[in-house]
Amino acid sequence: MTDLRIPRLNSRSKQYLFKNKLISERKSKRILLRESFIMTLISIFLIFVIYQIPNKLNLLNSFNKNIKEFLISVGDIFLNLINIFAVLFLIFSILLCFVLLLGAFYRIFRVIQVKKKKTTFH
């Protein structure tokens, strides 16, 4: 049992908690230049693609209009959901009232029926 070593978890300071997880080696200048060149090529390609799209301003204006229509339709959906939940509540409450009335009438019937049986046996 003395050979068993339990690591001390509280011995480390919290400021060095992620010290071992950090990458300690730096990238070389060659790799950094290659990555920056690739990033430049990608950005130039994206600028070219954007330049080739016709009627950019019309697309942006129609996008704003579509967003407004979408938000209006989402609002209508929520208003309709409130109505749907109100109707579901009404149906559920009507069914619950019907079940409660049936239970009450059945209980009254059982109480009256038991009293009649007791009086007929005497």
pTM here is 0.40
pLDDT tens per residue across span 108-122:
888 888 665 555 555
**How far is 92 from 98, CA to CA, in rounded Å?**
10
- Domains of the chain, by residue range, sit at 26-121
Beta strands in 9-93 (DSSP E): none
pLDDT tens per residue across span 89-108:
999 999 999 999 999 998 88
Query: Cα-atom radius of gyration of the chain, to the nearest Å?
Result: 38
Q: What dihedral angle (degrees, nearest 10) is formed by the CA atoms of 112, 117, 120, 122?
A: -120
Amino acid at 37: F
- Name the band, by pLDDT with cuts 50, 70 and 90, for residue 16: low
**Mean pLDDT, the chain, integer:** 82
**How far is 94 from 91, CA to CA, in rounded Å?**
5
Distance of CA 9 to the CA centre of its chain: 36
pLDDT score, position 78: 87
**How far is 46 from 67, CA to CA, in rounded Å?**
24
Of the two residues 10 and 63, the one the predictor is more confident about is 63
